[in-house]
Structure 1
Amino acid sequence: MPIRPEHRHFYPIDWPQLSQEIRFGRAGGRCEGCGRPHGRVVVCLEDGTWHDAESGIWRDGRGRRLRRPPALPVLAGARLTVPILATCHREHDTSRNGDRDLAAWCQRCHLIHDRPEHLRRRRLTYLRRKALGDLFLGPYPRS
């Protein structure tokens, strides 16, 4: 995932090389959360279940092997995705770039990991907008 220009100074100078090493050296081109391969077409179901073409088995959202493959009616809702790996900070602290602080995750695992942080920021944005509305427009009308 590209780094926004205003956040570039938070990352080390060698970030592209470090990211490459984490994603393809340590993780071997697979998501460390669910095991999806980078850049390959994957068949996915709505619940996160996906087909691992290399081993020919179905896996759940965490990459564990399913005991039984999904039923045919469920497969009708399948979609094709191409997971792209990104190097992510586990604790959202860009100053910590050690091996334990970084992870190679696909978009789905990254969003699942960041969900609490996104909800926190969304709440703050909502409260800030409400406060600005109260400050400049007076209290909101009750409806």
Structure 2
Amino acid sequence: MLILQHFPGYVFVTQRYLDAAPLQLKFGLAASKCNATNSQCKAYLSAIIIYLYTNDYKQAEMCYNDCSQIDAFCKSDQNRCASNLLAAYSDGDIEKIKRIAQSSSISNLDHSMIRLARKLPIGDVSALKGNTGRQEDQPLDENDLT
């Protein structure tokens, strides 16, 4: 588990962020098996931050939804932080994103994750506003069962 804990730091230095998020999720799974719920929740929040840093809001949202199925994460401060962060992204509220990046939940993460979180938002957040997860172009078809 110690190797998994320090390997994401190497990935950050080499700027291979898309490799880092799955590693954080694996670290969270390993922490879960060791009953280290605090480390588990920090790893899941870290993965969500990495996806947001790479401008992949949909993947961050999917990751959050998957992690929310885990009882330990649902009850954690990291869950509330991730939820607030995703809500701020969906609202396009840059100031709220920056305020959340200064929160204690993020300050308690690994130093490389703190640096990534404090650089948020990356890219055009206003493009996400009102366009997250909804298909407003197509009306709801009651006969479509898919």
Higher share of residues assigned helix = 2
TM superposition score normalised by structure 2: 0.23
Query: Which structure has the greater CA radius of gyration?
Result: 1
TM superposition score normalised by structure 1: 0.23
Higher share of residues assigned strand = 1
Q: Tell which has more relative contact order, 1 or 2 (C-alpha 8 A, sep 6+).
A: 1
